[in-house]
Structure 1
Amino acid sequence: MRIHLGFLRRRSTEASLSTRPKPEEAKKWTESFDALMASKYGSSLYRAFLIREFSNENLEFWLAVEEYKQLKPQKMATKAQQIYNDFVAVQASKEINLDAETRLITLTNVQSNNPDAHAFDRAQRRIQHMMERDSYLRFLQSTLFLELVHTEHCPTSAGYVSDN
């Protein structure tokens, strides 16, 4: 399955085209995983790449933990259990690849009387490290990313509309 940049475009409206980053902005994503994730378009493009590779559970987990950290304390216990059940538990529907020690530490954190914003820190760091060493690097070498970065050489191939 091949995905082109048009895959992420909504309807061809002026508003949606204006959200498309310039090649210079996209090049900043090569600086770090955090730079990629700080960009709405960058994180969406990375997600599309991972879906194509059938390996989006790591990113889904990472994003769920980021959302979890922003919750009010009274909502954390329920969300922590949901994240654990969906991603961390053995045989979870979107099970992520964690070592037994990290899995146990995460379970202990989730089952505590008061899970806090740091309940998934170790697991999230491990998953981010795996993404940085593997899928993030593959993404930066992908046609999907390279077409966006090199659009200044060939604007029509990236889906830009000509004024002519």
Structure 2
Amino acid sequence: MQKTLTEMAIKFCCFSQEPVDDVDSWGESIENLLSCKAGQIAFQEFLKSEYSEENILFWLACEEYKKVTSVPEMISMANKIYAEFVETESPRQVNIDSGTRTNITNNISEPNLNSFDTAQKMIFSLMARDCYPRFLKSDIYQAILQNRGKR
């Protein structure tokens, strides 16, 4: 498995369409990591290896949801996010408290741009304190750091 992650990191660095010049800044904060498309992809690959990819997918879906401008699109997207990540037994159910889950469930019929804010903050906090420190020590991040100048 270790070799696979390293190979994946090298492939990511060599074939990524996104600039990875700011790899060093990823280690400064999770915000820096998530503000960069390449960082999001690398973190997602790491989370996939830990079987917790739903966290970043939910966070990214919430970020896209906040950009919605029409009510029909908001309703459609809110229902997709709910069905995929929030609803009990959903395929990629995120780990949020029951009160937050119930609140979203009760209000999903009339969503607004803030419908998922509390849940998104919970998942961000979980990633920041739990997954992110492990990512920084991971073979994938270390391989990306080592290979960043070899393109």
Same fold (TM over 0.5): yes
RMSD: 2.0
**1:3 counterpart residue number:** 5
Q: Higher RCO, 1 or 2 (CA under 8 Å, sep at least 6)?
A: 2
Q: Cα offset for 1:149?
A: 2.5
Higher helix share: 2
The correspondence for 1:121, drawn from 100, 117, 121, is 117
1:131 is paired with a residue of what secondary structure?
helix
**1:84 counterpart residue number:** 82
Q: Cα offset for 1:40?
A: 1.1
TM-score with structure 2 length normalisation? 0.86
**2:65 counterpart residue number:** 68
The correspondence for 2:44, drawn from 47, 53, 56, is 47
Larger Rg: 1
- Distance in 1 (CA, whole Å) between partners of 2:121 and 2:19 is 29
Unaligned residue ranges in structure 1 (runs of 5+): none
1:148 is paired with a residue of what secondary structure?
helix
Cα 1:6–1:147 change in 2 (3 A) is: closer
- Distance in 1 (CA, whole Å) between partners of 2:105 and 2:145 is 41
Kindly tell me the number of residue pairs found equivalent between the two proteins.
Answer: 146
Check conservation: 1:106, 1:122, Cα contact below 8 A. Answer: no
- Distance in 2 (CA, whole Å) between partners of 1:20 and 1:64 is 22
Unaligned residue ranges in structure 2 (runs of 5+): none
4+ residue runs over 3 A deviation: none
Cα 1:72–1:20 change in 2 (3 A) is: closer
- Distance in 2 (CA, whole Å) between partners of 1:83 and 1:10 is 33
Instruction: Write the deviation string for residues 26-45 of structure 1: whole angstroms up to 9, x where unpaired.
Output: 12112221110111111111
